[in-house]
Every structure is written in structure tokens, then in C-alpha cells.
Amino acid sequence: NAGVTQTPKFQVLKTGQSMTLQCAQDMNHEYMSWYRQDPGMGLRLIHYSVGAGITDQGEVPNGYNVSRSTTEDFPLRLLSAAPSQTSVYFCASTLHPTGGAGANVLSFGAGSRLTVL
């Protein structure tokens, strides 16, 4: 299994540009999520999905859109990038819990570093 794959690894945007961060997993995980990581602020949840066709907002959803048309893919869209969105973005997924060990363990992608000028 490739695990959680994120693309691109690095991206530089100008203010107002749009882009999509891609996330794919091949582990048949139902739960997928996007976090942003900023210095001194830990990981903050942007959006998450508990299955295909279902998405919900996290702590910091403004300026971001998501969709979940398949179990494997969970893209994050920035419609009009702002300098405040400069960050490292992580996609993470986990299996539907059965109550057993590992039910909630998040598998993270390698991260995407985004700079908005």
C-alpha cells in the first residue's frame, strides 16, 4: 500500500489564485481529514469526511472547500488564496472503527508546503 499520498509537496501561489491540494489513500479508510500546521499552533482541523458524499467543517474551515466523491480521494480547494493560508497542510485518514486496536489511529500524508505571496 502507498498509504496516504499528497500532491504537490510544495506550491507557491499569488494572492487571489486558486488551487487544489490532492489527497488519496489506498487503505480503504472511510475517515479522511485535512489539517494545517503553523508554528506554535499545532495541527488545526480544516475539514473532515466520514465517508463518500459526507463532509463537515473543522476548527478553521474558512477559505477552504472539500468534496468526497470517492472513498479514496479527498481534495482540498483554495478558491482565492490569501497570505494567511501560508502553511503546511496534512491529509490524514483512518479506518471506520470497530472498537479494536488502531480504530482511531490517523495515518498522515507527507505534507504539502504552501506559500501565498
Contact positions toward other proteins, by CB under 8 A? Answer: 31, 33, 35, 40-45, 48, 50, 58-59, 90, 94, 96-97, 103-106, 108-111
Between the CA of residue 108 and those of 30, 63, 81, 88, what are the distances in Å? 14, 22, 24, 12
Residue (13 or 109) nearer to other proteins, CB: 109
Distance, CA of 60 to CA of 104 (rounded, Å): 21
In whole angstroms, the minimum distance from the beta carbon of 75 to other proteins comes to 19
Distance, CA of 95 to CA of 113 (rounded, Å): 26
In whole angstroms, the minimum distance from the beta carbon of 14 to other proteins comes to 25
In whole angstroms, the minimum distance from the beta carbon of 16 to other proteins comes to 29
Distance, CA of 48 to CA of 33 (rounded, Å): 4
